[in-house]
Amino acid sequence: MSNFKEGFKNGAKGYAPAVMWFSTGNIDLREMTWQMEGFKKNGIEDFFIHPVDATQGDYLGEHFFRMIKHVVKEAKRLGLNYWIYDEYNWPSGVAGGQVLHDAPWAKMSCVCKYSETAKPGETIHLTLPDRANNNTVPLIFAVDGKEVVVKQYGDIVEWTNDSDEEKTLDAFVSKWLRQLHYNTVNADVVYREEGYLDTLDPDAVKVFISKVHEVYKANIGEEFGKTVKGVFTDEVTLSYVEKQPEDFVGMLMPWTRRFMEKFLERNGYDIRPKIPALFSGTDPKLLIDYWGTITDLFMSAYMDLIYDWCTKNDLIYTGHLLYEEEIHKDIVYSGDPYEYYKRFTWPGVDSILSFYRINDYNFNITAKLGSSALRFAGKERLLCETYTLSGWFVRLRDMKRIFNRLALNGVTFIQYMGAKYDFRPAYESTGMSHNWQNPQFKHYDKMGAYISGVQNLIANTTYRARALLFYPLTTARTLVTTRPPFCTTTVEMDRTIQGLTNALLNLNVPFEIGYEQVIDEAEVKDGVMTILGTDYDVIILPCAKYIKERTFAQLKAFAQGGGRIIAVNGAPEFIVSDDIYPAEELPGIIAYDCRDYDIICDKTRYDTEKVSAMGAFAGALKDALKGLPERVYSIEPVDGIMSALRQKDDSWYVIITNDEKKPVTFKGHIALDMPFRAINTDTGEEQPMAVSGGDFEMTIDALNCVVIEISPDVEKASVVAVPAKTEEVALDNVAFAPAGLNTALPVIHQVRGSIAEEIIRAKRVDNPAKIAKIAEALTDDDMVLCRSLFNKRNPVEGSPEYFGWYPVDGVNAKAGETIVGIYDFELEDMPNVLELIGEPHEDTRWYLNSERLYQTGTRREWHYANPVFDMTSTAKPGKNRLVCISTMADVEMDAPLYPMPVGIIKGDFRVFPDTVITMKPGKNELNYWNDQGYYFYTGEGVYSGEFVAKAGEKIMIEVDTIEIAEVIINGKSAGKRIWDPYTLDLTPFVADGVNKLEVRVTSTGSNWIHAQTPSGLSGIKLYKEI
């Protein structure tokens, strides 16, 4: 454990988290260097440059590669690793629309069904999508599932119903997909082209490679495999069939121009006459063959070609595909998770909105799918894009909880998503920046050290499971027919798989996902299935109605040898070979139904289902597992305690996390006849526990992680110390002060129509008096209030109603439009410092009290060049009305990305919940600063006081906070806590007599950017041992 312990204490080089860096706005190369130096200083070794909305200059052109060449040069100097992100926005595949513009034949296709009903004897005319814009190709016309002959006149189909009954003509055609995606909108440097890359066609994928990968190689190829570490592909899919235009009403499934030919080669029969059955879902074997063919084409085209290109060019290929949490999405969007994971050098998964979704019922399955495939395919690292859009109120302790869960499930390369180069609060208020704009960022070095220590352990040990959770892909393929927005036919299967994943974690049973092709190649002997050195004695089958012949033979041999098979919500009924035939009952199978899932239906956020405490579903699985012999270790199930088992040589490591926001005590047993000890991953020090033989009892602090090392080299475990008697130490002369200028937010309204035009005309002749006169006459009825942009995915909780920059009626400014805003604030007293902080992006002019405001300085607030306007001599006691006249950028946007310009007020004042700017004193309490005159303040605040002690006395401090807290005694830092427990030993820093204490608390950036959140601390406890 020595190397791992050192990693826990000081971090492990090569295992630090990476960051996705969004490159938008007007790129300044000096600023790029400054931010890269910040990455290194704060524990980040790897970065990806992600071109996104509002990219300027060009994409993949001279201007763009001026930036890329600069960061590669600077990364080399700084010892950082640069990774290529292979698209503008996402999903990967079209090079910002260049592929679709230059090679329209490379667009993705689908097969669609259009229907029209005819009465007996009636002749109908069915209009197909026009061939010119849709590349429409008729495949088959059918009635009652059988082919019929029709007449075609261009895009018009004529058919006569010669029967005595009403009949429906079904026309099955292939056509291009026509939706706009994020990869072709919201910047003037991309081609606004409908559609997506045909990822099933290798010739189309080669165009994409030539437009992106080869262009990077031509510009920075000399650093491939050195400073340039790899390529990230994002949200790629075999079937991007959502978001069709409103005039599209047909049903559809994935297709490609050579599909019928490839299907025949793979399956030995012609699919064309069976296309009606494909849509009706009446032929399970056809569906299995169809989805299998689609998957094979995707793997051989997109995944294989880009993996081969990256390997040939000494680059690591990583990224993730579109949707991963549910089995029908795996089928429709990516085909087969095992097959695509094994085609990455380092597989990747996605965990967006992770702060909100960590309690989701389907949270755990994604990382488990990836880590299981990683081990079976012999891959080195598992990347996870995470923290995306998780809100500005997310604290480091929240990020630690998310990381712990992901790491427990096998993630070894955390990627912060993401760092904003050019942060704009109104545009990006729902997703915090993992960069200097975030007050917490300067403490990321400590978080990065923690993450690297744990990732070092996981990456250099092997996961050891005893149970295989079967992934019933073959069965799922029989249930997925025409593409709905979200499939309902696999809901029971998804709930069962996800429920078993959660239950096994909560029951502390080590397990992996059992992919069919991995089971097919496993060794089976005496009731044990062995895969790459791991022996499994339990296989769990969720809703596995159809099983391939080879897979069933393996399961049968396993069961006959005494292995335990548990079937939940459906046992195997059919075997799939060249045909489908009934399955015999597996020997000794334990089959039960339980649809009492451990779910909380929470409709207040995302309309997603949340996992509950362990209940009937986990209990049913626990009963089915009874009687199994103990292996290596066992832990009594307790809510919040989850574990994983790993091995290196003759040492075993039990990773245990506490997922609760409070300390949790639990009991366990070590079954191996070897010494063991527990190590706190936060400190690298031994974790005390009560030990009796192989039994142990331990308490883990809130959101903490402990590793039990079982090894011949381990000395006796540390035992729990008897708590000493203590008495409280009084803290006197308590005070609070912010470390910077305070913040106030004006109430914002937009002015429209003739009044706005009149103000704009006055601006053109620079008439501040007229502007003020018009503005002062306005009432609330003349204007539209602006608030935060609210949606279900990124809720803004606890914010004042006026908070934000978007008109409440949803009518946002348009590209190139000049808008007028009113920004009201009230002064009870005149502060010594009163500043307006604006943004440098739009052409914006500010007026206050009949005067035009002129920029008096530039300061790094949330942008590296925020304009500063001194209002001290212009503002007046009472109500003040700022007028903002701004012209929006002339870039067409597909989202409400033109809010009112951001303008905040800074100064040496105080602001209470009534939001009036005042000079009256704050409360100087050991309490959150929001109610002490710093309602909108974010950043650092200092709580100070004095206490009397003797040198050498053991003095401890507990800070009641969930923020970042550094304790300073007599001018010297006694330590910093960025998460629980917020306890420090002050003894070495205490002097005789009066000691000066400071607790410097760093908050999130939420109070003015996103939502009101308690900031600071709510108490300090000093005590000494007696």
Nearest to 707 by CA among 453, 442, 364: 453
Q: How far is CA 405 from CA 259, 363, 409, 611, 661, in A?
A: 41, 9, 6, 14, 14
pLDDT, one tens digit per residue, over 633-672 is: 999 999 999 999 999 999 999 999 999 999 999 999 999 9
Q: Is the pLDDT of residue 604 over 60?
A: no
Q: How many CB atoms lie within 10 A of CB 985?
A: 13
For tokens 């709930």, name the residue.
495
pLDDT at 567: 99
Q: Regarding predicted confidence, which is higher, 487 or 486? A: 487
Q: What is the pLDDT of residue 803?
A: 62
Q: Tell me the mean pLDDT in the region 431-451.
A: 97
Give the least confident one: 595-604, 719-728, 860-869: 595-604
Q: Report the distance separating Cα 969 and Cα 301, nearest Å.
A: 63
Question: Does a cis peptide bond (omega within 30 degrees of 0) precede residue 319?
Answer: no
> What value does the mean pLDDT take over residues 164-172?
97
φ/ψ (deg, to 5) at 213 = -60, -45
742-907 matches 728-739+918-1025 in CATH topology: yes
Dihedral pair phi/psi, residue 279, rounded to 5°: -80, -30
Q: Summarize the confidence of residues 398-410 as an average pLDDT.
A: 98
Structure tokens at 973: 């830092």
Instruction: Take residue 397 and report the two structure tokens written for it.
Output: 């302790």
Residue 894's contacts (CB-CB under 8 Å, 6 or more residues apart) are: 180, 185, 186
Q: Does domain 728-739+918-1025 have CATH number 2.60.120.260?
A: yes
- Give the Cα separation of 462 and 950 in Å (integer): 51
Which residues does 400 contact at the CB level (< 8 Å), separation at least 6? 447, 450, 703, 979
- Quick: pLDDT tens for 9-46: 999 999 999 999 999 888 999 999 999 999 999 999 99
Return the percentage of the chain with pLDDT > 90, whole number: 85
Distance CA 844, CA 424 (A): 15
What is the per-residue pLDDT for 795?
A: 42
Q: What is the CATH number of domain 742-907?
A: 2.60.120
DSSP helix/strand/coil, 370: helix
With 0-12 / 13-18 / 19 or more C-beta atoms within 10 angstroms meaning exposed / middle / buried, residue 672 is middle
The arithmetic mean of pLDDT across residues 541-567, rounded, is 99
Helix (H) or strand (E) holding 451: helix 444-459
600 CB-side CA count, 13 A:
11
User: In this structure, what is the dihedral angle of CA atoms 1003, 1009, 1010, 1011, given to the nearest 10 degrees?
Assistant: 60
Residue 428: band (very low, low, confident or very high) from pLDDT cuts 50, 70, 90 = confident
What number is the average pLDDT over the span 984-997?
Answer: 98
Q: Is 187 exposed, middle or buried (0-12, 13-18, 19+ CB in 10 A)?
A: buried
d(CA 825, CA 831): 14
Residue 791 pLDDT greater than 90, yes or no: no
pTM (2 d.p.): 0.96
Residue 653, phi then psi, degrees to nearest 5: -130, 120
In this prediction, residues 472-501 reach a mean pLDDT of 86
pLDDT above 90 (res 548): yes
Number of H helices and number of E strands within the chain? 25, 61
Which residues have C-beta within 8 Å of that of residue 265, sequence separation ≥ 6?
Answer: none
Residue 794 has pLDDT above 60, yes or no: no
pLDDT over threshold 60, residue 122: yes
Query: Which pLDDT score, from 0 to 100, does residue 275 have?
Result: 97
Beta bridge partners of 468: 512, 539
DSSP classification of residue 895: S
The predicted pLDDT at position 555 comes to: 99
Res 989 pLDDT > 90: yes
Let me know: does 383 contact 349? Beta carbons within 8 Å: yes
Cβ distance 903 to 838 under 8 Å? yes
Task: Specify the pairing of strand 564-568 against strand 676-680.
Answer: unpaired
Contacts of 714 (CB under 8 A, 6+ apart): 1, 674, 675, 676, 677
| pLDDT at residue 647 in the model | 98
Contact assessment for residue 302 and residue 234, using Cβ atoms and an 8 Å cutoff: no
pLDDT digits (tens, 9 = 90+) for 51-104: 998 888 999 999 999 999 999 999 999 999 999 999 999 999 999 999 999 999
Helix (H, G, I), strand (E, B) or coil at 694: coil
Lowest mean pLDDT among 28-42, 78-92, 442-456, 790-804: 790-804
Residue ranges of domains in the chain: 15-102+218-246+297-462, 109-176, 464-629, 631-722, 728-739+918-1025, 742-907
Query: What mean pLDDT do residues 829-851 have?
Result: 95
> Alpha carbon of 145 to those of 67, 168, 253, 272, 482: distances in Å?
57, 10, 17, 12, 15
Helix/strand/coil for 960: strand
Residue 70, number of CB atoms within 10 A of its CB:
16
Residue 416 has pLDDT above 70, yes or no: yes
Tell me which fold the domain 464-629 belongs to.
Rossmann fold (3.40.50)
The CATH code of domain 15-102+218-246+297-462 reads 3.20.20.80
Q: Are 101 and 207 in contact (CB under 8 A)?
A: no
Confidence of residue 246 (pLDDT cuts 50, 70, 90): low
Mean of per-residue pLDDT scores for the chain: 94
Q: What is the CATH number of domain 631-722?
A: 2.60.40.1180
Tell me the β-bridge partners of 176.
Answer: 109
Q: Each residue of 281-296: pLDDT tens digit?
A: 999 999 999 999 999 9
Say how far residue 110 (Cα) sits from the centre of its chain: 29
Query: pLDDT at residue 796 above 50?
Result: no
β-pair partners for 737: 942
pLDDT confidence of residue 797? 46
DSSP 236-296: E-S----S--TT--SEEEEE-TTHHHHHHHHHSS-SGGGHHHHHHT--HHHHHHHHHHHHH
Strand order in the sheet with 123-127: 123-127, 156-160, 151-153
State the Cα–Cα distance between residues 554 and 376, nearest whole angstrom. 17
Tens-digit pLDDT profile for residues 901-952? 999 999 999 999 999 999 999 888 999 999 999 999 999 999 999 999 999 9
